Amino acid sequence: MFRHSKSIITKLRNLSFQGSWRSRGSSAVERALQFTEGQRIHGFTVKEVTAVPDLFLTAVKLTHDATGAQYLHGARDDSNNLFSVQFRTTPMDSTGVPHILEHIVLCGSQRFPCRDPFFKMLNRSLSTFMNAFTASDYTMYPFSTQNAKDFQNLLSVYLDAVFFPCLRELDFWQEGWRLEHETPTDPSSRLVFKGVVFNEMKGVFSDNEQIYAQHLQNKLLPDHTYSVVSGGEPLAITDLTWIQLKHFHATHYHPSNARFFTYGDLPLEQHLKQIEEEALSKFERTEPNTAVPPQTQWDKPRADHVTCSPDTLAPDPTKQNTLCVSYLLGDITDTFEAFTLNLLSSLMISGPNSPFYKALIEAKFGSDFSSSVGFDGSTRRASFTIGLQGMAQDDIEQVKHIIAQTIDDIIETGFEEERIEALLHKIEIQIKHQSTSFGLALTSYIASCWNHDGDPVQLLKISERVSRFRKCLKENPRYLQEKVQHYFKDNTHRLTLSMSPDERFLEKQAEAEEQKLQWKIKNLTEVDHKDIYEKGLQLLADQSTTQDASCLPALKVSDIEPTIPYTPVQLDTSGGVPVQYCEQPTNGMVYFRAMCNFNSLPEDLKIYIPLFCSVITKLGCGKLNYRQQAQRIELKTGGMSVSPQVIPDIDDLDLYEQGIFLTSSCLERNLPDMFQLWSDLFNSPHFNNEERLRVLVLMSAQELSNGISYSGHMYAMTRAARSLTPTADLQEMLGGMDQVKFMKRIAELTDLTSVLRKLPRIKRHLFNPETMRCAVNASPQNMSHVAGEVESFIGNIAANRKERKPVRPTVVERSLDPQAGSAASRKLISEPHFKPCQMKTYFQLPFPVNFVSECVRTVPFSHADYASLCILGSMMTDKFLHGEIREKGGAYGGGARMGGGGLFSFYSFSDPNSTKTLSAFRGGVEWVRAGKFTQQDIDEAKLSVFSAVDAPVAPSDKGLGHFLNGITDEMKQRHRERLFAVTDKNLIDVAGRYLGIGQQTCGVAILGPENETLRKDPSWVVK
Ligand SMILES: [Zn+2]
């Protein structure tokens, strides 16, 4: 269950405007078909060559002769090549040894002995993805890149990291855990626990859903490795020793326990040669003994109870119980059975037509399904979980009864044929949709099954399984019902787990930590004390020295493509509505989007926009009630959704576009059906079902409340920015802490009729051809058909056309195609009198860690300094803030970035510090102003920025930046040239001009635990 990611740091850094999707001809798939079984290549033997036409790839399976390492290559004409290596890591305690090891192998290796080569490679490469995961029973290291030289560079670093890491004791203290003086330089300050993973896991277990999911797995599979926390239980982490860690590495990170996966259009031979030469040739075969034995079946069901901390943002404070029943299923290496059970799980719980949705969600016993609900194939034996969160204590018995009853009902009545068809249609769409991270999706998809020696190639043959599934259904109409009987009704291996809040939960946790700390301190000798102090100083000194990273391979700025490939789009109007057409190889899919501004919407209704968006496609429309509508959407489309959009102008910080964004996709044959659904939504949405609205409101409020603990830094950034630009102010209202609190209030209302009455009013202002523009991505051969359908759709909704006055007086029009002087335009709102002001806000929340942000108002996208600020954010993050906030401060992460709305933002997450991190932000600015960086630092920052700017864009999303932001390819190219041109002088200059104290207006926000200092400081607004 536990999976975590470092990539969030990379993703946060930049706004991605454009990518390059190159095709190198269509030969990779065919080339790979030339390999033959038994062929020997660079120490490997080919075991199997299989064409997988469903996924347009050729799978080549190999084994390494000397060590038995397993290898799978997916040859596909996709330039976004991927590598991953995974080890079966099956810990038998909760010290987090696989997780801490995952961190430490990335801290330096024999060939690359500099500190933290992993982070350093982020800016010496054009990688599209770099990461490391610790799952329950394996640890995986994947990367992807579009550049062949970069692939080799990264492969060298990854191989050396996992097979020949330094595993220094110093890194163990930094990344794992240590006892240290609160102020390392002051031996009289108290001793505390520190360490990156220690804090990270405290952060993870501040999330009640994580606590529940962890217990559920531990208790359902108590026999072996699944009974412990692979990520580490914070206090158990402090039992781990450096020696144990090294031993775990020696036994688990061995080729005989490894599975390699490569994907893309680069030649396989080259990969094999490099892996053999740089790693595998130095090993001999071992018996890793890491297999997970099958869990023995219980002869009777079990029940258990756990506690969590109360959620102050819960929609109803008296309803905070979770209850689920979890069933142990079959072995995931039986791929067809697992496929069937996964489908069965969807039929049972997905959407308003599923039996459990009807029985549990609509009966309103809880706010939503528990996030553990559904099929889980991440353990050797799969499981299925059903149950609710947000329940009253008194309803628990009733809910248990309903779960049992619903299973009986399913066995009795089965599923409607149309629902099964809808599900199979969804699989067809998933196969056709071209994603940019296909390699990554594949490696995640096969990881668990392969980890237990299942056949990964079998797993790729999706159509084959669909046909076999259809055949089973045809031969036995009760096929699925019999499965339900067997796996649920008659299954004695099931666990009923409840969770309730305990007022003293955090207090008890803190007490337990204090006890453990005191116990450790009590056992320290005089020599230990001296040692701790000296180690603390040594670590600090080590962290403070600038390290020579020249041993690492690197791309050069000259390796970056100087120009972007242009994406031609065509602009037209249909029934007076501007439409952008973008021809792309979409594989028979059609993508339709629309933007509708809400400039005429009365101010008091604005805060309801997110609620409107989340319910509008789920209340029914035209002749369809909400159940039929949901069915229709599943059966005919790849999804239809609506979301709020606030888009900053590229020239003026006090100008923005406000609207809602409609997105949808379908197979070309279903286009008329999809547009019929949109027409019905525009012309006759249903707003009469208060019960249905209540269900949806509760689910939204719960989802928002749950989201804060893992995206706290986003909430902190949004809040810090609110008083700086009108765009940011509106973004806070629609997607920040204000919105979370608003939804909580709505969810608490006993009568929702007043809310229900607002929805048709909002609809009249939004679903109006007058406010709309559309975008279509489709294959060239389908385009004229699509254009015809768009035209008739716009004809169908013409009656909604009504010119309404904007509420704010100043509307500024921006042409959609400035070069062609097109009349079609976007209508932006100008607030020339907006006064940015300083504001510091502190939200006290039930978390053990902080999320800290500071934002500064700077310049918009088109300004000459914008590019310098982008490079500045990247350089400051990697060369200064990472060291201060993560390495020294012990936070999970932190950095700075330039945002499209002209705001320069600093942030930290899962951070034990609050105001100290604010000082680190300031320190970053001073560091730049003092010019303490090199040309190499600037070049690395450029590589890092470009790897985000040039991230691949899927055919479905090409041209969208132009459609939404009005940023043309010429503007992108100009921005690109400015990025290339940034110099050291520019960086010092912008750091002083925009980020120096008192230069520009800034805002600050902290989300975190009880904090005396902030509470007493009158300059802070406490929420
Ligand atoms: Zn981690």
User: From ligand 1's centre to the CA of 227, what distance in Å?
Assistant: 20
Cα-based distances in Å from 68 to 90, 256, 290, 444, 619: 19, 5, 14, 22, 56
**What average pLDDT does range 545-563 have in this prediction?**
88
What pLDDT sits at residue 313?
A: 76
Distance 914 CA to ligand 1 centre (A): 21
Least confident of 491-495, 571-575, 676-680: 571-575
What is the distance in A from the centroid of ligand 1 to the CA of 196?
8
Amino acid at residue number 124: R
Task: Compute, in angstroms, the gap from residue 5 CA to the centroid of ligand 1.
Answer: 7
* pLDDT average, residue stretch 791-805: 87
Could you please report the per-residue DSSP string of 916-969? HHHHHHHHHHHHHHTT---HHHHHHHHHHHHHHHT----GGGTTHHHHHH---H
Contact call for residues 24 and 77 (beta carbons, < 8 A):
yes
What values do phi and psi take at 78, rounded to 5? -135, 125
Q: What percent of the chain has pLDDT over 90?
A: 80
**In this structure, what DSSP letter does residue 71 have?**
E
Catalytic choice (37, 48, 102, 503): 102
The answer, yes or no, to whether residue 34 has pLDDT greater than 50, is yes
Please tell me the distance between residue 138's alpha carbon and the centre of ligand 1 in angstroms: 14
Q: Convert the pLDDT of each residue in 876-900 to its tens digit.
A: 999 999 989 988 888 888 999 999 8
pLDDT recorded at residue 854: 96
pLDDT, greater one: 709 or 960: 960
Per-residue confidence (pLDDT) for residue 87, from 0 to 100:
98
**CA of residue 175 to ligand 1 center, whole Å:** 9
Does 874 score more than 80 pLDDT? yes
Model pLDDT for residues 371-412, shown as the tens digit of each residue: 999 999 999 999 999 999 999 999 999 999 999 999 999 999
Q: At what angle do helices 148-163 and 268-278 cross, to 10 degrees?
A: 30
List Cα–Cα distances, 630 to 418, 422, 616, in angstroms.
Answer: 12, 10, 12
Q: Give the mean model confidence (pLDDT) for residues 216-237.
A: 96
Q: pLDDT at residue 8 above 50? A: no
- Distance between Cα 886 and ligand 1 center (Å): 12
Kindly report the number of other CB atoms within 10 A of residue 152's CB atom.
17
- How far is residue 680's CA from residue 798's CA, in Å, rounded to a whole number? 12
Structure tokens at 252: 């688990």
The rounded Å distance from CA 501 to ligand 1 centre is: 27
Q: Give the pLDDT score at 895.
A: 95
Whole-number Cα distances in Å, 804 to 103, 771, 801, 807: 57, 9, 9, 9
User: Residue 343 to residues 347, 470, 737: CA-CA distances in angstroms?
Assistant: 6, 12, 37
Closest-CA residue to 445 (of 436, 457, 433)? 457
pLDDT above 70 covers a percentage of the chain that reads: 97
CA atoms within 13 A on the CB side of 4: 24
Structure tokens at 665: 């996709």
Residue among 191, 237, 197, 206 nearest 1008 (CA) = 206
pLDDT in tens, 414-431: 999 999 999 999 888 888
Distance of CA 2 from the midpoint of ligand 1 (Å): 10
3-state helix, strand, coil in the chain (%, to 5): 45, 20, 35
CB 979 within 8 A of CB 871: yes
CA dihedral 604, 606, 611, 617 (to 10 degrees): 120
Q: How far is the CA of 101 from the centre of ligand 1 (A)?
A: 9
Q: Measure 481 CA to ligand 1 centroid, in angstroms.
A: 42
> If you average pLDDT over residues 573-602, what whole number do you get?
93
Q: How confident is the model at residue 21 (pLDDT cuts 50, 70, 90)?
A: very low
Nearest to 109 by CA among 233, 259, 282: 282
Q: In terms of pLDDT, which residue wins out, 2 or 836?
A: 836
The pLDDT-based confidence of 15 (bands split at 50, 70, 90) is very low
Separation of alpha carbons 869 and 6, rounded Å: 23
CA of 134 to the centre of ligand 1 (A): 8
Yes or no: say if 853 and 905 are a contact pair by the CB < 8 Å rule: yes
CA angle 1013-1019-1020, nearest 5°? 65
Residue 184 backbone phi and psi in degrees, to 5:
-55, -30
More confident residue, 204 or 413: 413
This prediction has a pTM of 0.86
Report residue 336 as tokens. 């067809």
Mean pLDDT across 55-75? 96
Note if 102 is an active site residue: yes
Interior angle at CA 191, CA 189 and CA 192, nearest 5: 125
Separation of CA 372 and ligand 1 centre (Å): 21
pLDDT at 804 over 70: yes
Contact 224, 230 (CB under 8 A): no
First to last CA, the chain: 34
Q: Are 463 and 272 in contact (CB under 8 A)?
A: no
Question: What is the whole-number distance in angstroms between the Cα of residue 210 and the centre of ligand 1?
Answer: 15
Mean pLDDT confidence for 991-1004: 88
Ligand 1 centre distance from Cα of residue 975 (Å): 35
Q: Residue 821: its pLDDT value, please?
A: 64
Tell me the per-residue pLDDT of 909-956, one tens digit each, with 9 for 90 and over. Answer: 889 999 999 999 999 999 999 998 999 999 999 999 999 899 889 999
Instruction: Give the tokens for residue 396.
Output: 């628990």
77-122 per-position pLDDT tens digit: 889 999 999 999 999 999 999 999 999 999 999 999 988 888 888 8
pLDDT over 50 (residue 164): yes
Find the 901 Cα to ligand 1 centroid distance in Å. 31
Q: Where are the beta strands (DSSP E) in 247-290?
A: 258-264
**Mean pLDDT within 905-911:** 93
Bridge partners of 85? Answer: 141, 260
Confidence of residue 24 (pLDDT cuts 50, 70, 90): very low
Specify the residue for token string 């099964």. 420
Q: How far apart are CA 458 and CA 446, in angstroms?
A: 10
Mean pLDDT of 120-128: 88
Provide Rg for the chain, Cα atoms.
28
Task: Find the range with the poorest average confidence among 82-91, 193-202, 865-874.
Answer: 193-202
Torsion angle, CA of 600/602/607/612, rounded to 10 degrees?
-60
Distance 322 CA to ligand 1 centre (A): 27
Q: Which of 357, 295, 302, 360 is nearest to 329 (CA)?
A: 295
Ligand 1 centroid, distance to 535 Cα (angstroms): 23
Q: Strand 839-844 relative to strand 825-830: parallel, antiparallel, unpaired? A: unpaired
Query: What is the Cα–Cα distance from 492 to 653, expressed in whole angstroms?
Result: 62
Per mean pLDDT, which range of 430-434, 635-639, 748-752 is the poorest? 430-434
DSSP assignment, residue 389? Answer: E
Q: CB 527: neighbour CB atoms within 10 A?
A: 8
Once rounded to an integer, what is the mean pLDDT over residues 279-286?
96
Contact (Cβ atoms closer than 8 angstroms) between residue 478 and residue 359: no
pLDDT, tens digit, 9 for 90 and up, residues 368-381:
999 999 999 999 99
Q: Which amino acid is at 149?
A: K
User: Is the per-residue pLDDT at 244 higher than 90?
Assistant: yes
Examine the pLDDT at 634 and tell me if it is beyond 60. Answer: yes
Q: What are phi and psi of 458, to 5 degrees?
A: -55, -40
pLDDT of residue 1020: 93
What does residue 646 show for φ and ψ, rounded to 5 degrees? -125, 115
Which residues lie across from 909 on neighbouring strands? 893
CA pair distance 960, 75, nearest whole angstrom? 29
* Element of type H or E holding 181: strand 178-181
- What's the CA-to-centroid distance between 512 and ligand 1, angstroms? 23
